[in-house]
């Protein structure tokens, strides 16, 4: 059987779950562990935690959140954000992560992909590629949540990442991320046709049909989703949303919701099944 995975992505800033648009303009949504537990119970296939400011300040504050989550959640957990060295990777694996996600450090030092995959196994090493479509139609790779220009061609980089031993690629369309306009289908299909390793599509899911569009055809292995599920969680659990700090007004107004049709993981999976896309349900 060939199944796809649905992976909720939790962007973390300090103790909070946040969400931005184009990976920027972050809003606080609530406590990460509340969301993680809910997604686990709803049938998430994996979870992805991304420390979205770690790379900027060169630190990683996720350890407490990871070890707390890993105690009661028995699905794979991938952790990214600010991991720069073998010892950084070792540390997040030690506190309970199953896989790590590299971006900035991998571009600065591609040897890290080789060393890490040899040491921890290819399947432990996920590389995130943040792509922005330039005005001439070229896709270039960025780092630090789409802030830093590298000038590197996304497709050449994806091939190198696979060659260097990464086990998976997360391809983010920074242009689509947080917009709810749908995945960049050209970008994700070109990447997955180029490499032999699984590819996870990220950035743009605004309704269930977008997930179907990305996963039909069988070449994309997984869809990574945040806003769609986060907004659904908030609707279902209003009291838990943003219990930590600020932005309550933003949440109550639900202004960000208008481009999204929030839904649960189970609803997405049922829709996939009805479109003959296999998944764990």
Catalytic residues: 11, 130
Query: Where does the chain have alpha helices with state H?
Result: 32-41, 54-57, 63-72, 86-94, 104-108, 111-120, 154-163, 185-194, 208-215, 227-236, 248-253, 265-274
Using CB under 8 A as the binding rule, whether residue 74 contacts another protein is answered as yes
Among 10, 23, 52, 70, binds another protein (CB under 8 A): 70
Total binding residues toward another protein, as defined by CB under 8 A: 34
> x-or-dash pattern for another protein, window 22-61, by CB under 8 A?
------------------x----x----------------
- Quote the CA–CA distance of 250 and 229 in Å, as a whole number: 17
User: Near another protein by CB under 8 A, which window of 31-39, 71-79, 153-161, 236-244?
Assistant: 71-79
Q: Contacts with another protein in 236-255 (CB under 8 A)? A: none
Among 109, 122, 150, 179, binds another protein (CB under 8 A): 122
Residue 163 within binding range of another protein, rule CB under 8 A = no
34, 68, 91, 98: which one binds another protein (CB under 8 A):
98
62 counts as binding another protein under rule CB under 8 A: no
Residue 94 interacting with another protein (CB under 8 A): yes
Residues 6+ apart with CB under 8 A from 240: 30, 31, 34, 233
> Residue 223: beta bridge partners?
6, 201
Q: Choose the binding region for another protein from 22-30, 52-60, 193-201, 209-217 (rule: CB under 8 A).
A: 193-201
Return left, alpha or beta for 225; rule: phi > 0 is left, psi -120 to 50 is alpha, else beta.
beta
- Burial level of 244, CB count in 10 A (0-12/13-18/19+)? middle
Is 198 among the residues that bind another protein (CB under 8 A)?
A: yes
Is 23 within 8 Å of 60 (Cβ atoms)? Answer: no
Between 75 and 140, whose beta carbon lies closer to another protein?
A: 75
- Asked if 110 interacts with another protein (CB under 8 A), we say no
Beta bridge partners of 128: 170
Going by the DSSP 8-state scheme, the letter that residue 88 receives in this structure is H
Bridge partners, 133 (sequence order)? 139
In Å, the largest CA–CA distance within the chain is: 49
Work out whether 185 is an interface residue with another protein (CB under 8 A). no
Residues near another protein (CB under 8 A): 1-5, 40, 45, 67, 70-71, 74-76, 93-98, 118-124, 167-168, 196-198, 221, 279-280
């Amino acid at each position: 059987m060939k199944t796809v995975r649905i992976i909720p992505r939790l962007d973390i800033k300090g103790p909070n779950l946040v969400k931005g648009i184009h990976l920027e303009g972050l809003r606080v949504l609530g406590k990460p562990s509340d969301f993680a537990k809910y997604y686990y119970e709803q049938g998430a296939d994996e979870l992805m935690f991304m420390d979205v400011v770690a790379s900027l300040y060169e630190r990683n504050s996720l350890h407490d959140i990871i070890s707390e989550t890993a105690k009661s959640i028995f699905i794979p957990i991938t952790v990214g954000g600010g991991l720069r060295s073998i010892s950084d990777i070792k540390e997040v694996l030690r506190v309970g992560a199953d896989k790590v996600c590299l971006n900035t450090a991998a571009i600065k030092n591609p040897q890290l992909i080789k060393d890490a995959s040899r040491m921890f196994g290819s399947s432990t090493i996920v590389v995130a590629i943040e792509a922005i479509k330039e005005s001439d139609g070229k896709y270039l790779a960025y780092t630090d949540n789409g802030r830093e220009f590298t000038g590197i061609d996304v497709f050449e980089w994806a091939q190198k990442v696979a060659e260097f031993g990464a086990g998976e690629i997360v391809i983010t369309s920074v242009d689509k991320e947080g917009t709810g306009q749908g995945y960049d289908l050209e970008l994700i299909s070109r990447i997955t046709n180029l490499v032999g390793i699984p590819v996870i599509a990220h950035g743009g899911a605004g309704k269930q049909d977008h997930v179907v569009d990305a996963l039909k055809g069988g070449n994309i292995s997984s869809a990574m989703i945040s806003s769609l599920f986060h907004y659904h969680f908030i609707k279902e659990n209003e009291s838990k949303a943003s219990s930590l700090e600020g932005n309550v007004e933003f949440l109550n107004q639900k202004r960000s919701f208008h481009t999204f049709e929030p839904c649960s993981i189970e609803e997405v999976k049922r829709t996939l099944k009805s479109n003959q896309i296999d998944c764990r349900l």
